[in-house]
Amino acid sequence: MKIEFLEEVGSTNEYIKRYLLSGEDRIVIAKRQTGGKGTKGRSFLSESGGVYLSALNFYKNFPAENAFLIMAHAAVAVSETAESFGLDPEIKWPNDVLLAGKKLAGILVENTIDGGEVKSSIVGIGLNVLNELGELKEIAVSLSEAAGRIVPLDEARGYLIENLQRKISFDDYIGRVRFLGKEVRVIESGGETYFGKAVGVNPDGRLEVERGGKSVLLSAAEISLRI
């Protein structure tokens, strides 16, 4: 796989799209992003000291109904990177990687789907390593802060690239989603709020919640543990 390093770029996800017609897997890494993107169009703070990369992969015979596995793979790769430094992360459905309740990384997946198949995917990851988090310190954490020591940026980058290229099973993802079996607070995209028991995550990415004796399958919602 080709790996390209950049000093600065607006967004690695946007930059790597120039290779969508190449048919060749590639990773682009930037020291800093000036226009990093998160989910739902949010901006992503991308100051020097973090790992900011996008991985472009091409597929054959990859059913679109299995597309969630790409997101699951990215979350596991980030988790395994943290584990390499003796940390104990967990995944909050669908793809937030947390350390002690704080967000360690941002993950943005953009898939190209045609004829019921995933043809390519761009997986963008912003991993906090040494970067200052500023006003986000209440909700975000870096590898260095969590480890209580300076985590070398090149070492974290190397582990992440290596983990992104490893194969995983869906069980690798499920084993890190630790609120399953517990009571959770659900806020659906329409604003409805209720409590239920998180039962499991389907391979298609939908979260199964038991509510009032009935099973509800969620494609998108805000989830938190019931306090």
What is the model's pTM?
Answer: 0.92
Whether residue 85 contacts residue 143, with contact meaning beta carbons closer than 8 Å, is answered with yes
pLDDT-derived band at 47 (thresholds 50, 70, 90) equals: confident
Q: What is the pLDDT of residues 167-226, one digit of tens each?
A: 999 999 999 999 999 999 999 988 899 999 999 999 999 999 999 999 999 998 999 986
Is residue 48 scored above 90 in pLDDT?
no
How far from each other are the two terminal CA atoms of the chain, in whole angstroms?
A: 45
Quote the mean pLDDT of the chain.
93
- State which amino acid sits at residue 102: K
Q: Alpha helices, DSSP H only, in 86-226?
A: 143-147, 153-164, 170-174
Q: What is the pLDDT of residues 126-147, one digit of tens each?
A: 999 999 898 889 999 999 999 9
